[in-house]
Amino acid sequence: MTVWRAPRVTGPVTATVELPGSKSITNRALILAALASGPSTVRGVLRSRDTDLMLGALSALGVGIESGDNPTTVTVTPASLHGADVYCGLAGTVLRFLPPVAAFADGPVRFDADEQARTRPQSTILGALRVLGVDVDGDTLPFTVNGTGRATGGAVTIDASASSQFVSGLLLSAPRFDDGVTVHHVGKPVPSTPHIDMTVDMLTTAGVSVDTAEANTWRVAPGPIRAVDWVVEPDLSNAAAFLAAAAATGGTVTVPYWPTVTTQPGAQIADVLRDMGCQVTLSGGNLTVTGPDRLSPVSIDLHDIGELTPTIAALVALADGASVLSGIAHLRGHETNRLEALATEINRLGGKVTETDDGLRIESAPLHGGHWLSYADHRMATAGALIGLVTDDVDVDDIETTAKTLPDFPAMWQQMIAGTA
């Protein structure tokens, strides 16, 4: 594990930063392509730990996965699926999207993952699969889905308040079940609903009928999944850390190829930065953020966009005044307990952060250097980089963990600040 001295600037950062593909779109496109009625090409594929784990797992199940000289273009050829060992790393999208796919293998599919993944919520999707007629051994990692090549499907009621990925995972494979799948959610509100919209949108693009007329209910009809040549948008949640660098330094950062219409929750970083006093423009596909002299604090419900929390928490720790981030109790089950981790690490550098029932209260305080722990969480590592950009002597532990979704992060960050004082 490398301890990385976060590069420090004293002037405004000015840069254009091109982001690789979205993790969430890549892993959905790969699943839909693997279950489709013919071969597809996926362009703009993110190559990172989470997406390479998905590629590896699909290949182990028998799906044809090919990429030529350009690793971001992948041809996926569906095949009958067979039993396999699937390793999920710490990837929620692999942990929750692949067990339903495994129902269609003709033998046992054994799932395992990183030690840290064992505390992430998982049993909900396994219980749902049992209701849908799938034989599953175990409720926690490691577990086995005993695929038989087909499954009945039908209606299932789950509590998806711990993760939207339970809903997305069931919906992505739903058309392959004999009777389709209807998912009802009962419980506290489902977080990250834009990610469910992304799932529904991509299923619809692949010719699948999804009925969302009733609140908290998703009905997917059985039927073929059309082969689609997918083009993956840049990862807007990963873009957030770079845009936040402009906000923190009074600089200007542009991210090209910003989609005008998207289901990615990361797009909402534009509104958050505006609320903090940044100028934000979208023109000709370029999203440009210019930071203010002083950042304003914000009180904001992040329930829909929880994945942006580490970046926003780091940024509001640099603002003038107290911010409250709410609606994110479910982050305690993300890569790590993100509420505890953010409070601990910002406080270690002199910050004033308290955990609330469903979020964080972050007051302004002068920050100083120190060791920033990453907890194997890519977004904790980038949050440390952001604070270190404007704070002397911040050492970010395990910077390699950014490879979960952005393997080139240290080089991209360095390139962003090249030429800045």
Ligand X SMILES: O=C(O)C1=C[C@@H](OP(=O)(O)O)[C@@H](O)[C@H](O)C1
Ligand Y SMILES: C=C(OP(=O)(O)O)C(=O)O
Cα separation of 325 and 97, whole Å? 28
Interface residues with ligand Y (CB under 6 A) are: 91-93, 307, 334-335, 379, 405
User: CA-CA distances (angstroms) from residue 308 to 119, 244, 259, 313, 410?
Assistant: 21, 11, 18, 9, 19
Q: How far is the CB of 328 from ligand Y (least distance, A)?
A: 11
Q: Which of 144, 161, 164, 336 binds ligand X (CB under 6 A)?
A: 164
Residue 303 contact, options ligand X, ligand Y, none, Cβ 5-8 Å cut-off depending on partner type:
none
Considering only CA atoms, which of 126, 84, 128 is closest in space to residue 106? Answer: 84
Catalytic residue among 66, 233, 307, 335: 307
**How distant is the alpha carbon of residue 110 from its chain centre?**
24
Considering only CA atoms, which of 146, 131, 135, 5 is closest in space to residue 83? Answer: 146
Q: Which CB sits closer to ligand X, 119 or 279?
A: 119
Cα separation of 189 and 334, whole Å? 17
Q: How far is the CB of 194 from ligand Y (least distance, A)?
A: 13
Q: How far is the CB of 260 from ligand X (least distance, A)?
A: 21
Q: Is 22 annotated as a binding residue?
A: no
Residue 41 contact, options ligand Y, ligand X, none, Cβ 5-8 Å cut-off depending on partner type:
none
Residue 379 contact, options ligand Y, ligand X, none, Cβ 5-8 Å cut-off depending on partner type:
ligand Y
Identify each DSSP E strand in 228-351 by its residue range. Answer: 230-231, 252-255, 279-283, 286-290, 299-301, 323-326
Q: How far is the CB of 288 from ligand Y (least distance, A)?
A: 24
- Interface residues for ligand X in 321-380 (CB under 6 A)? 330
Q: Which CB sits closer to ligand X, 120 or 364?
A: 120
Q: Name the strand (E) or helix (H) holding 108.
A: strand 108-112
Q: Which of 49, 176, 185, 195 binds ligand X (CB under 6 A)?
A: 195
**DSSP string of 132-147, one letter each residue:** TT-EEE-SSSSEEEE-
Q: How far is the CB of 159 from ligand Y (least distance, A)?
A: 17
Residue 91 contact, options ligand Y, ligand X, none, Cβ 5-8 Å cut-off depending on partner type:
ligand Y
Rounded to 5 degrees, φ, ψ at 130 are -60, -45
Q: Which CB sits closer to ligand X, 266 or 297?
A: 266
Cβ count within 10 A of residue 333:
16
Residue 324's beta-bridge partner residues? 299, 361
Which residues here bind ligand X, judged by CB under 6 A?
A: 24, 92-93, 163-165, 168, 191-192, 195, 306-307, 330
Catalytic residue positions, numbered: 307
Residues contributing to the annotated binding site for 3-phosphoshikimate: 23-24, 28, 163-165, 192, 307, 334
